[in-house]
């Protein structure tokens, strides 16, 4: 699995959730997790979560750490499970700073304030996950917390992104290894 941190900012607007985005944008062919920093502004026509569309719940933030995962299978349930695994991995890494976080499904909270947004979906050739963490909590539609408030200096955000991406890739490799080493039973 490719792990890549984009060195420049990108506005996440929902159009990144299209098949082969990492390949078209960065030449990463195959399974990948791409991280980047940037604002978030998702208009309703690009929202994948129809619950948010039905509720007319806007999704935006001024400064976020985004992850786009693409894996080449068609099992949306598996993608949702991977999304929750990614959330748990992020929780474990962030809690090393000593703050207790709460995970509710694919969302992370600190003292009832939301740290993350996330969605899993499928494309004609793959499944995809978008996960984003507030770097600051400024200009969010709900009570939120950011990584800076949790003790992550802005200068260390790229290293945090790479650590999360590598931990996810290692977990996927471990799953593949475990799947391949066992004898079937009849």
Residue 116 lies in a domain: yes
Residue 183 lies in a domain: no
Range list of β-strands (E), the chain = 2-5, 32-42, 59-71, 102-104, 107-110, 113-114, 116-122, 127-134
List the CATH number of the domain containing 153: 3.30.930.10
Residue 126 lies in a domain: yes
Residue 44: predicted pLDDT:
78
Residue 184 lies in a domain: no
pTM over 0.85: yes
Say how far apart CA 134 and CA 146 lie, in whole Å: 5
Percent of the chain with pLDDT over 70: 99
Task: Count structural domains, the chain.
Answer: 1
Residue 181 lies in a domain: no
Residue 98: predicted pLDDT:
84
Say how far apart CA 49 and CA 75 lie, in whole Å: 17
Residue 104 lies in a domain: yes
Residue 182 lies in a domain: no
CA-nearest of 113, 33, 123 to 76 is: 123
Residue 112 lies in a domain: yes
Q: Are strands 116-122 and 59-71 parallel, antiparallel or unpaired?
A: unpaired
- Helices 76-94 and 157-181 meet at what angle, rounded to 10? 130
Domain hosting 90: range is 2-174
Per-residue pLDDT tens digits for 44-95 = 778 787 787 788 887 889 999 999 999 999 999 999 999 999 999 999 999 9
User: Exposed, middle or buried by CB within 10 Å (0-12, 13-18, 19+), for 39?
Assistant: middle
């Amino acid at each position: 699995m490719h792990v890549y941190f984009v060195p420049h900012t990108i506005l996440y607007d929902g159009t990144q959730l299209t098949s082969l985005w990492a390949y078209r944008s960065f030449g990463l062919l195959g399974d990948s997790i791409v991280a980047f920093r940037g604002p978030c502004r998702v208009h309703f026509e690009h929202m994948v979560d129809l619950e948010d569309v039905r509720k007319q719940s806007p999704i935006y933030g001024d400064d976020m750490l985004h992850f786009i995962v693409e894996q080449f299978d068609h099992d949306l349930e598996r993608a949702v499970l991977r999304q929750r695994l990614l959330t748990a991995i992020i929780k474990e890494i962030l809690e090393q700073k000593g703050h207790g976080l709460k995970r509710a499904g694919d969302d992370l909270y600190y003292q009832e304030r939301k740290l993350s947004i996330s969605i899993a979906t499928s494309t004609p050739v793959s499944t995809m996950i978008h996960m984003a963490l507030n770097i600051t909590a400024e200009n969010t539609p709900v009570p939120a917390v950011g990584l800076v408030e949790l003790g992550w200096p802005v200068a260390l955000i790229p290293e945090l992104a790479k650590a999360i991406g590598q931990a996810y890739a290692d977990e996927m490799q471990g799953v593949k290894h475990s799947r391949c080493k066992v004898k079937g039973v009849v």
